[in-house]
């Protein structure tokens, strides 16, 4: 009997810890992140809001894919009139393109700073503002302490933060709740028509706190993220290239 009780205590403590870390139970979530199967990788099968997520990309092409996936993610997060701040020191995001992902570019504020140190400061400041839905910060490097500060800021305000790390020299450990890597996949032709079809990405959830990392293939189709079965965790990087129509 005693071990059973202990398990109860463990479970209760575990759920309390999760709550403190920004994970909510499914019932508490007003809106999902529209991630479908991927959400199962997270504790309570819910995409954690009020936490910091980290995206890693190396080349310009991956950077674009990451932006695309993130924009898809944001479109469900910002559904109810959300506002976002996009902080960067070298901005390449093209605001009108966000409309292709169902976002309203005029609900974004773009901060263009000259130094990465300012990006961190501005991001922390913005994350403390509960009126925002998300804050996106582009930076190369972030130390564990800095990421911890950001995590502490969101714990009060419940804002969701995204760190986009391009060309990071050293990945290191961070206090972020998850680490993602997104790369492009050949698009799938629409009903066999020629030309470029719906964009597809290979989404790697490399690290997730208390969850199950994995790899998925996603497609952006008709304003939502669609999971493509067929290439799953097992699928290797070498996938068959589709022929041009």
Taking the least distance from each CB to other proteins, the nearer of 68 and 161 is 68
Check residue 215 for interaction with other proteins (CB under 8 A).
Answer: no
Beta strand 178-188 with 198-208 is: antiparallel
Taking the least distance from each CB to other proteins, the nearer of 7 and 130 is 130
Q: Which tokens belong to 37?
A: 């199967």
58 conformational bin, left if phi > 0, alpha if psi -120 to 50, beta if neither: alpha
Check residue 1 for interaction with other proteins (CB under 8 A).
Answer: no
Check residue 63 for interaction with other proteins (CB under 8 A).
Answer: yes
Q: Is 198 exposed, middle or buried (0-12, 13-18, 19+ CB in 10 A)?
A: middle
Check residue 195 for interaction with other proteins (CB under 8 A).
Answer: yes
- CA–CA separation, 216 and 232 (whole Å): 5
H or E element in which residue 45 lies: none
- CA–CA separation, 150 and 125 (whole Å): 9
> CB of 201: closest distance to other proteins in angstroms?
7
Opening angle at CA 138, ends 235 and 219, nearest 5? 30
**11: Cβ contacts below 8 Å, ≥ 6 apart:** none
Which residues in the 92-131 window bind other proteins by CB under 8 A? 92-101, 104-113, 118, 121-122, 125-126, 129-131
The label of the residue with tokens 């263009």 reads 112
> CB of 134: closest distance to other proteins in angstroms?
13
Q: Site mask, other proteins, residues 12-51, x = CB under 8 A?
A: ----------------------------------------
Q: Site mask, other proteins, residues 151-190, x = CB under 8 A?
A: --------------------------------xxxxx-x-
Taking the least distance from each CB to other proteins, the nearer of 10 and 94 is 94
Measured CA to CA in angstroms, residue 161 lies from 69, 130, 179, 180, 241 at distances of: 15, 12, 12, 13, 35
Check residue 149 for interaction with other proteins (CB under 8 A).
Answer: no
Which residues in the 217-236 window bind other proteins by CB under 8 A? 220
How many residues bind to other proteins according to rule CB under 8 A? 61
Check residue 201 for interaction with other proteins (CB under 8 A).
Answer: yes
> CB of 129: closest distance to other proteins in angstroms?
4
Distance from CA of residue 4 to its chain's centroid? 37
Listed residue (176, 179, 177, 125) closest to 153, CA to CA: 125
Binding site for other proteins (CB under 8 A): 60-61, 63-65, 67-69, 71, 80-83, 92-101, 104-113, 118, 121-122, 125-126, 129-132, 183-187, 189, 194-197, 199-201, 220, 241-245
């Amino acid at each position: 009997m005693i071990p059973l009780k202990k398990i109860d205590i463990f479970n209760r403590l575990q759920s309390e810890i999760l709550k403190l870390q920004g994970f909510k139970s499914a019932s508490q979530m007003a809106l999902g992140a529209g991630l479908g199967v991927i959400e199962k990788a997270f504790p309570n099968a819910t995409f954690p809001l009020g936490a910091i997520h980290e995206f890693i990309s190396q080349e310009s092409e991956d950077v674009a894919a990451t932006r695309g996936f993130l924009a898809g993610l944001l479109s469900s997060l910002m559904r109810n009139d959300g506002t976002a701040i996009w902080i960067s020191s070298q901005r390449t995001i093209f605001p009108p393109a966000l409309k292709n992902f169902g976002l309203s570019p005029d609900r974004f504020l773009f901060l263009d700073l000259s130094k990465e140190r300012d990006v961190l400061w501005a991001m922390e400041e913005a994350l403390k503002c509960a009126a925002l839905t998300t804050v996106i910060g582009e930076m190369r490097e972030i130390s564990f302490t800095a990421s911890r500060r950001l995590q502490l800021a969101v714990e009060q305000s419940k804002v969701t933060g995204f760190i986009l790390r391009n060309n990071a020299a050293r990945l290191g450990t961070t206090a972020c709740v998850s680490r993602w890597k997104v790369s492009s996949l050949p698009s799938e032709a629409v009903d066999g028509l020629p030309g470029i079809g719906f964009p597809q990405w290979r989404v790697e959830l490399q690290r997730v706190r208390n969850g199950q990392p994995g790899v998925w293939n996603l497609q952006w189709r008709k304003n939502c993220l669609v999971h493509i079965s067929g290439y799953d965790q097992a699928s290797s990087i070498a996938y068959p290239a589709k022929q041009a129509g």
